[in-house]
Amino acid sequence: MKDWLNKIWSRLSGKDAWNDKFEAGCRSFQFGKFDESEQLFLESVSLLEKAKAKDPRRFSTLVCLGACYRAQGKFDEAEKTLRAAIETRSNPSDFNANDTAFAYKELASCLYEAGQCDDVQEPIKTALKLYEDSCGKNSEEAAECLLIMSRTCIMRCQFDEALPYLLRCLEVFEAKPDDRTFELADTLTCQAIVWNRTSEFQRAESNLRRVMPLHEKLAGAESMEVARCKTELAAALLAQSVFDEAEKTFQESMRIMRKVEAQSSIDFADTLAGLATCLRSQRHFESAISYYQQALGIYEKFYNDDQDDIATVLTQLAVCHSELEQFNEAEIYFSRAAAIAERLLGEDHSAVADGIFNLANCYSFQKRYEEAIPLYRRALKIAEKTLGIQHPEYAAKLTGLAYCFQLQERFADAKPLYTQALQICEKDESTPEDELADNLIGLANCHLETGDQAAARPLYERALRFKQNKFDPRDQELASRIEVLLKRMDHSMV
């Protein structure tokens, strides 16, 4: 904005009342006196209207006023004013291309910051084209547009589209790291966010460690920018199971946010949820529940009930309560999360199937089998329709229903389901060993309960190979139980 204002001053001539007001407004804007700047720009517009001026001065003043509104978060006024500025160009050839591009870029930024991501594409592409034609494809102005485009893609979860834009930005901003420190930091952070969301956690971590000093230099060591960066870094560490450092980094981010009085913000809620997940992953369920509940309270103040973040936290709360065998509490959270998913996505969506499946498991653990089985069947039907009968998620739901039948000693009903799930898991190389082992053990148990030790034994032996080298105490305990069972089977055969 400052560079553009300086260029405007150098081109626009005349020492009339309009120019005095306009220059005063620009100076106020540069010093962050937005209320004062707004009033001066409004007076400048009024003077131009009285003179019935339709030259570049009116366009420039409206653009400055729109930028002033945007700086104050008055996005509706900013959008209206910036669009009015663009409409003043009855003969576009009379206007400087860079000034026009700047107006479109300001409009795109305004729409992005107002959360209207679907409306950003048209003005930012127009700005990019104007800048590329007038300044070159590798210009700093074009890179600024690409950065806005990448942010919009991230907001819309279009991560593959964002990366090429970010790479072009890096080429430009890394060439001038001292002049473009802010844009370089923003680009590196956006790139890290994309990598975190696409499971490139080591690359995200590398970027975040590089960008942290830049944010500290620009905004201070205890700023929201640094806090947000720490939250992303903690998420990358958590995904790599570096629990101690992740937990410490989440806590440090929360400390900074409290210091800058941002403990009621969405950023703080995101950090609380991240810390809760870190604790849940280490089986500290009671502590995790406390942080999840705090995050949920903040999300509910900002969003209505139909929001992904709320559904995610509800599901995680339910999982924690399930692990503590607090199934009544888990049922409440699973039920609410499933209802949100269905309202958001429609009744035939894989995420809806997951929510229904979670609730079915909860009923099954409470021995409410008559309520659980219809939900299992509905989850299977949705998964078959959306994912197909060879998908690992379909296999997981078969396993859930099979286990429900097994708990009721309906082994004849459970066996074919375990067998079908096992066949799917064996074909898919990406299937986690734990899922494969669960099906092997479930099917083996059914054979053993129906007196077929010969069929059960090789299944137990295969499952044991998966479990005996695990470090989780639960896996070690299960491996020991299988070893004892195999020895008993040997003894009975003798």
Mean pLDDT of the chain: 89
| pLDDT for the residue 94 | 65
What sign does the CA torsion over 303, 304, 306, 312 have? positive
Q: What integer pLDDT is reported at residue 132 of this predicted model?
A: 94
Say what the pLDDT of residue 470 is.
63
State percent of the chain over pLDDT 90. Answer: 68
pLDDT of amino acid 54: 62
HSE at residue 301, side-chain half, CA atoms within 13 A, is: 11
Among residues 106, 185, 184, 115, the alpha carbon closest in space to that of 156 is found at 115
User: Residue 173 pLDDT > 90, yes or no?
Assistant: yes
249-257: long-range contacts at Cβ-Cβ below 8 A with a sequence spacing of 24 or more? 250/274, 250/275, 250/278, 251/275, 253/227, 253/228, 254/227, 256/222, 256/223, 256/224, 256/226, 256/227, 256/230, 257/224, 257/227
In sequence order, which residues have a C-beta less than 8 Å from that of residue 175 and are 6 or more positions away?
Answer: none
How far apart CA 294 and CA 376 sit, in angstroms, is 31
Q: How many residues in the chain?
A: 494
Residue 121 has pLDDT above 50, yes or no: yes
Grade residue 323 by pLDDT with cuts at 50, 70 and 90. Answer: very high
pLDDT score of 14 more than 50: no
For 305, other C-beta atoms within 10 Å of its C-beta total 14
pLDDT of 21 above 90: no
| Residue 429 confidence class, pLDDT cut points 50, 70, 90 | confident
Helix 140-155, helix 181-197: angle, nearest 10: 30
Q: Are 173 and 187 in contact (CB under 8 A)?
A: yes
Class level of CATH domain 390-494: mainly alpha
67-73 contact pairs (CB < 8 A, 24+): 67/1, 67/29, 67/106, 68/25, 68/29, 68/34, 68/37, 68/38, 68/41, 69/38, 70/106, 70/109, 70/110, 70/113, 71/29, 71/34, 72/34, 72/35, 72/38, 73/113
Domain 303-387 has CATH 2.60.40.10: no
Written as one letter, the residue type at 27 is R
- pLDDT per residue over 451-492, tens digit each? 888 898 888 888 888 776 665 667 667 767 777 777 777 666
Q: Is the pLDDT of residue 247 over 90?
A: yes
Residue 222 has pLDDT above 50, yes or no: yes
Residue-level pLDDT at 494: 41
Are residues 10 and 27 in contact, defined by beta-carbon separation less than 8 angstroms?
A: no
pLDDT, residue 15, reads 44
State the CATH class of domain 177-284.
mainly alpha
Distance CA(155)–CA(162), nearest Å, equals 10
- Closest by CA position to 285, among listed 244, 328, 316: 316
Helix/strand/coil (H/E/C) assignment for every residue in 337-400: HHHHHHHHHCCCCHHHHHHHHHHHHHHHHCCCHHHHHHHHHHHHHHHHHHCCCCCHHHHHHHHH
Task: State the alpha helices, DSSP H only, in 387-468.
Answer: 392-407, 411-427, 433-449, 453-467
Number of other residues whose CB lies within 10 A of the CB of residue 471:
6
Q: Tell me the per-residue pLDDT of 406-423, one tens digit each, with 9 for 90 and over.
A: 999 999 999 999 999 999
pLDDT in tens, 272-288: 999 999 999 999 999 99
Question: Among 111, 117, 116, which residue's Cα sits nearest to residue 70?
Answer: 111
> 453-467 and 433-449 helices cross at what angle (nearest 10)?
160
CB 184 within 8 A of CB 223: no
Band of pLDDT at residue 27, cut at 50, 70 and 90: confident
Per-residue pLDDT, 13: 43
CA atoms within 13 A on the CB side of 124: 23
Q: How far apart are CA 69 and CA 73, in angstroms?
A: 6
CB burial readout 222-254, b (16+ within 10 A) else e? ebbbbbbbbbbbbbbbbbeebeeebbebbebbb
**pLDDT (0 to 100) of residue 92:** 65
Cα 51 versus chain centre, distance: 51
What's the whole-number mean pLDDT along residues 120-141? 93
322: pLDDT strictly greater than 80: yes
At 254-271, the pLDDT tens digits run: 999 999 999 999 999 999
> Which regions of the chain carry the CATH code 1.25.40.10?
177-284, 303-387, 390-494
